[in-house]
Amino acid sequence: RREAFLHSERLNIVSELSASVAHEIRNPLTVTNGFLQLLHGSKSLAEEEKTYIEFSLKELERAEKIVSDFLAFSKPQSAHMVYSNFEKEIAYVASIIKPYAKRHQVELNVHFANTLKKKFDENQVQQCLINLFKNGVEAMDGNGGVLYIDVSEKHKNILIRIKDNGVGMTSEEISQLGKPYYSTKKEGTGLGMIMVYSVINNIKGRIEVESKKGKGTTFLIIIPA
């Protein structure tokens, strides 16, 4: 089954969320994390006090995850526009995700065959790709899967296909994609896919999702050149 979505009302929420706010949260998180780590090493602490610090560190880690899913690459003050065929961006994000894939016993298989160029914000596109690649890897966690990334061109469109043979989704689950905080994962943020839809919408593209429960998922991104 193939379903296309353009959740415009959901995308509005994204533009309302100021990227710069979330960006600024990063630094205090890092600083607080550092001091808590130091405190945790102190010999004068009671066991109970140590437990409080551990809880705090765990919560900080969660906050960091939310910011990462949403803003790993965003530099809100400086949109970095490029005119590219996506080759550099795909290669860069693949290299970033590789260690993560390896830890989840997932292999990356990238095939690139596109000459068409498009103007886009490089930070946004990298953020979008990383969320899609991450989801693909997470869908195949521990099952020794392969994540196929294929970029091609057809009728003046750039096609980016991201295919996994992971857990898959029902149509009901597909329809939830891009809803803020929708996640079926224990430690999920449910923020990755809104970012994906928002970025693709910004470059006038669309996304088709093909998925079968227990078999796997293919995200096809169609971008007019």
Instruction: List residues binding ligand ADP (CB under 6 A).
Output: 69, 131, 135-136, 139, 164, 166-169, 177, 182-185, 188-193, 217
- Comparing every residue's Cβ against ligand ADP, the nearest one is 192
Contacted entry of Mg ion, ligand ADP, none for residue 89, CB cut-off 5 to 8 Å set by kind = none
Q: Quickly count helices (H) and strands (E) in the chain.
A: 7, 8
Shortest Å distance, C-beta 214 to ligand ADP: 10
Q: Which long-range contacts (CB under 8 A, 24 or more apart) does 173-177 make?
A: 173/211, 174/3, 174/5, 174/209, 174/211, 175/3, 175/5, 177/5, 177/209
Residues contacting residue 70 through CB under 8 Å, at least 6 positions apart? 22, 189, 191, 192, 195
Query: Which residue, 76 or 168, has its beta carbon nearer to ligand ADP?
Result: 168
- Comparing every residue's Cβ against Mg ion, the nearest one is 192
Which residues make beta-bridge pairs with 109? 148
The span from the CA of 207 to the CA of 161, in Å, is: 10
Query: Which residue, 114 or 135, has its beta carbon nearer to ligand ADP?
Result: 135
Shortest Å distance, C-beta 139 to ligand ADP: 3
First-to-last C-alpha distance (Å) of the chain: 26
Shortest Å distance, C-beta 183 to Mg ion: 7
Which residues are at the interface with Mg ion (CB under 5 A)? 135, 192
Query: Which residue, 89 or 164, has its beta carbon nearer to ligand ADP?
Result: 164
Query: Which residue, 118 or 131, has its beta carbon nearer to ligand ADP?
Result: 131
